[in-house]
Amino acid sequence: MPYTVTVRDHMMIAHSFTGEVFGPAQRLHGATFVVDATFGADELDADGVVVDIGRASAALAEITGSLTYRNLDEEPEFAGRNTTTEVLCRVVADRLADRVAAGELGGGSPSSLTVTLHESHIAWANYSRSL
Amino acid sequence: MPYTVTVRDHMMIAHSFTGEVFGPAQRLHGATFVVDATFGADELDADGVVVDIGRASAALAEITGSLTYRNLDEEPEFAGRNTTTEVLCRVVADRLADRVAAGELGGGSPSSLTVTLHESHIAWANYSRSL
Amino acid sequence: MPYTVTVRDHMMIAHSFTGEVFGPAQRLHGATFVVDATFGADELDADGVVVDIGRASAALAEITGSLTYRNLDEEPEFAGRNTTTEVLCRVVADRLADRVAAGELGGGSPSSLTVTLHESHIAWANYSRSL
Amino acid sequence: MPYTVTVRDHMMIAHSFTGEVFGPAQRLHGATFVVDATFGADELDADGVVVDIGRASAALAEITGSLTYRNLDEEPEFAGRNTTTEVLCRVVADRLADRVAAGELGGGSPSSLTVTLHESHIAWANYSRSL
Amino acid sequence: MPYTVTVRDHMMIAHSFTGEVFGPAQRLHGATFVVDATFGADELDADGVVVDIGRASAALAEITGSLTYRNLDEEPEFAGRNTTTEVLCRVVADRLADRVAAGELGGGSPSSLTVTLHESHIAWANYSRSL
Amino acid sequence: MPYTVTVRDHMMIAHSFTGEVFGPAQRLHGATFVVDATFGADELDADGVVVDIGRASAALAEITGSLTYRNLDEEPEFAGRNTTTEVLCRVVADRLADRVAAGELGGGSPSSLTVTLHESHIAWANYSRSL
């Protein structure tokens, strides 16, 4: 996409992983995820934006607000799944995509979305999809 | 592009926006834009670079220098346009592309350019184009 | 102070400076200030905190909210003063100190405050005071 | 202290807080703490250092390793205490101080220590003590 | 690639460049390269990851460990080549690709790799390839 | 000091260390040092600044310019000394102090100076002195 706009928020969750590959991360632990949502578009709208940054930030904050300060192991929607950084990137992206489809971000018609979750200063993940 | 090189600079401008979507940003305000210019190429030149970092930095500094410490609302070239972060990404990218076309960056033949403007620690935008 | 807690916010303002030393910054321009407020205390309160991060963030957001998206040259309180980064550090710190004195931050009794304003990736300023 | 040296590591923990002031953070959640340990000294040793960065990093890694990938609510040493960012700064600092006292950092005689824990891109805390 | 995971490490090397375009960088000097390795995949594996972050970090650390604390001008493999930031991106990427091909990263089948080397706070480079 | 102002620059040098404690860093290697110079003052001058940021940046750039793109092992002034991060902090600070004493920073009378050198994303050092 020629144009993109990114907004940042964060969430603080507990979880554990199933699978020997995860080593000590099989224990209940936690993470701060700094969350970046990047909206892409071929053209700017009449106001000169991809999406309104205020609305995009508000939409992202509602999603991080629905996940933060929780133990994801106890959330029914994640039952039987590892809530890895990659998986949570997709969860946030799909929820944001639903909000875009519902018209919550107003004018503009972004056609792609990338969500990045930073789990520390030395590791992060992305998930990209079309809108 | 397999190879890219990025250089960073910044500019400090005043402006206002037209359009109710902008809310309080319709008032005259300002921004520091941290500006990243990313040049892409399929192959490195004989020296082993995409572009010379020194020349690329100098070219970018001339462009940020032509915009910084100004009220963009009073610059004739922006009359009637919102100088959003996205729009300014394109302005910087197009000016840099002109300099590449004029041979100012020397050897090497980058074929793509992405300009990122960071408007705060929680929001930034990109514009990408071919060269 | 043995203990400190810091919260971060930002504001985007226009202004100009008076004085030849400022060179091109005498023109109307602008800045994004990333604002850090650091509260210091000798001891933690019964909850184990210097100040409640939620309340501290809310207090800081009200102050940045009263300054952002404005042309400081037109704000009566700054008439005849240069709103340099250093000066604005003190403005934010003194307003936060008033809120602490008014009990807005709840329990805990921080005794010092430092406010840092980052004007770009290569320049920032501090102002420190007691509470 | 005229001279300081800082090394960085991180840890990923789950915990919950007791006290109404914590709002939703009373629920079990988690955090990535990026941990900075700053050693201060009046003079450099004969090698020209405050502490050996390799040894300091190793000592810090052992401490973060003893805390990471755990639910702090179930660690006996934290029973009945809120493991706030401030409290954990002190825990890490006191453990590092014990290692310095035990001679684990080799030559040099740092006389002060500050530990900073970053809980997100917008909040962090410090604890400082003498050695 | 819809999914990516990135891990970060660093290395500290000496080198010099041949070619007038490099100006003072023709002299023997040095750099800290902060190295990011980004693995991309179309799908997550059964554990919900692109690659295991622990194994990916270990593989990257072995590669940076084979380059760090060296004068690259004296390493036979770089004889007659400029070890520019771009060139070193490819060196790290190709070595990582060999380790992926050798099965060192375990399950998962990443299909692309991008390596970023940051040479300072204002300049960095990328090299991308398929796996 | 109640007020401080900081400016940032960088330098890229080669060097080696003498002393077993340095392990592989006894070999010729290199570093990018991101250099922060922090000037402190009790009061602002008549313009509302601690020091002019433009002049402070220029003074710092001349000092980093005198060190960058060099092998410090071959600089006579460092003969017989380890140019550790801590030692180089002092070198930069003392040179900046000389420039302040010579009046190069113009009006204002900063009374303290701290120089920070970041050698990587996980290690940095400070040296502080009075002016």
Q: List, for residues E43-60, the tens digit of each pLDDT value.
A: 999 999 999 999 999 999
Which residues of chain E lie closer than 8 angstroms to B5, CB-CB?
85-86, 123-126
Which residues of chain A lie closer than 8 angstroms to B21, CB-CB?
47, 49, 52, 54-55, 106-107
Q: What is the pLDDT of residue E108?
A: 74
Q: What is the pLDDT of residue F106?
A: 78
Q: What is the pLDDT of residue E15?
A: 98
Residue E1 has pLDDT above 80, yes or no: no
Q: Which of A28, A13, D117, F1 is nearest to C53 (CA)?
A: D117
Residue F14 has pLDDT above 70, yes or no: yes
Rounded average pLDDT over F55-71: 98
| Minimum distance, in Å, between the CA of residue D117 and any CA atom of chain A | 12
Decide: residue D61, CB within 10 A, 0-12 exposed, 13-18 middle, 19+ buried. Answer: middle
Nearest-by-Cβ selection for D13 from A29, A68, A69: A29
Q: What is the pLDDT of residue E118?
A: 98
Which residues of chain B lie closer than 8 angstroms to A44, CB-CB?
84, 86-87
Question: At A1, is the pLDDT very low, low, confident or very high (cuts 50, 70, 90)?
Answer: confident
| Minimum distance, in Å, between the CA of residue B9 and any CA atom of chain C | 9
**E35, β-bridge pairs:** E9, E117
Rounded average pLDDT over C80-100: 97
**Chains D/F: 3 or more C-beta pairs closer than 8 A?**
yes
Q: Which residues contact F99 (CB under 8 A, 6 or more apart)?
A: F59, F62, F63, F105
Question: At D12, is the pLDDT very low, low, confident or very high (cuts 50, 70, 90)?
Answer: very high
Size of interface A-E (CB pairs under 8 A): 62
- B2-61 pLDDT tens trace: 999 999 999 999 999 999 999 999 999 999 999 999 999 999 999 999 999 999 999 999
Q: Are the C-beta atoms of residues D123 and C57 closer than 8 Å to each other?
A: yes
Which residues of chain B lie closer than 8 angstroms to D124, CB-CB?
none
Query: How large a percentage of chain C has pLDDT more than 90?
Result: 95
Size of interface A-F (CB pairs under 8 A): 3
Question: At F53, is the pLDDT very low, low, confident or very high (cuts 50, 70, 90)?
Answer: very high
Whole-number Å distance between alpha carbons of C8 and C34 = 7
Picking from F4, F10, F50 by the largest number of C CB atoms within 10 A of its own CB, the best residue to mutate is: F4
Neighbours of B27 (CB within 10 A): 15
Whole-number Å distance between alpha carbons of A59 and A53 = 10
Whole-number Å distance between alpha carbons of F115 and C105 = 34
Chain B residues contacting C via beta carbons under 8 Å: 8, 10, 12-15, 24-25, 27-34, 68-71, 119-122
**What mean pLDDT is reported for chain D?**
96
Whole-number Å distance between alpha carbons of B82 and B73 = 9
CB contact under 8 A, A48 and B82: yes
Beta strands C3-15 and C70-71 are: parallel
| Minimum distance, in Å, between the CA of residue D60 and any CA atom of chain A | 16
**Chains B/C: 3 or more C-beta pairs closer than 8 A?**
yes
**Chains D/E: 3 or more C-beta pairs closer than 8 A?**
no
| pTM of this structure | 0.97
Query: How large a percentage of chain F has pLDDT more than 90?
Result: 95
Q: What is the pLDDT of residue E96?
A: 98
**Chains A/C: 3 or more C-beta pairs closer than 8 A?**
no
Rounded average pLDDT over C93-110: 91
Which residues of chain C lie closer than 8 angstroms to B34, CB-CB?
120-121
Which residues of chain C lie closer than 8 angstroms to B122, CB-CB?
10
Neighbours of C56 (CB within 10 A): 27
Which residues of chain E lie closer than 8 angstroms to F71, CB-CB?
14, 27-30
Residue C44 has pLDDT above 90, yes or no: yes
Residue C70 has pLDDT above 80, yes or no: yes
Residue of chain D nearest A26, judged by CA positions = D69
CB contact under 8 A, D122 and C57: yes
Chain F residues contacting A via beta carbons under 8 Å: 121-122
Residue of chain C nearest D17, judged by CA positions = C47
Residue of chain B nearest E83, judged by CA positions = B48
Question: At D107, is the pLDDT very low, low, confident or very high (cuts 50, 70, 90)?
Answer: low
| Minimum distance, in Å, between the CA of residue C93 and any CA atom of chain E | 29
| Minimum distance, in Å, between the CA of residue B124 and any CA atom of chain C | 12
Which residues of chain A lie closer than 8 angstroms to F121, CB-CB?
121-122
Q: What is the pLDDT of residue B109?
A: 86
**What mean pLDDT is reported for chain A?**
96
CB contact under 8 A, F126 and D49: no
| Minimum distance, in Å, between the CA of residue D66 and any CA atom of chain F | 20
Which residues of chain A lie closer than 8 angstroms to D15, CB-CB?
14, 30
Q: Which domain holds residue D109?
A: 3-18+27-34+42-130
Beta strands B123-130 and E29-41 are: unpaired
Rounded average pLDDT over C84-88: 98
- E96-118 pLDDT tens trace: 999 999 999 976 789 999 999 99
Residue C11 has pLDDT above 90, yes or no: yes
Which residues of chain D lie closer than 8 angstroms to C107, CB-CB?
21
Picking from B16, B26, B32, B66 by the largest number of C CB atoms within 10 A of its own CB, the best residue to mutate is: B32
Helix (H), strand (E) at residue A101: helix A85-101
Q: How many domains does chain B have?
A: 1
| Residue carrying structure tokens 């202290």 | D1
For residues E107 and C120, the model is more confident at: C120
CB contact under 8 A, A124 and E5: yes
Strands (E), E1-131: 3-15, 29-41, 70-71, 112-120, 123-130
ipTM of the complex: 0.95
Helix (H), strand (E) at residue F90: helix F85-101
- F30-46 pLDDT tens trace: 999 999 999 999 999 99
Question: At A6, is the pLDDT very low, low, confident or very high (cuts 50, 70, 90)?
Answer: very high
CATH number at residue D60: 3.30.479.10
Question: At B107, is the pLDDT very low, low, confident or very high (cuts 50, 70, 90)?
Answer: low
| Minimum distance, in Å, between the CA of residue B51 and any CA atom of chain D | 33
**Chains C/D: 3 or more C-beta pairs closer than 8 A?**
yes
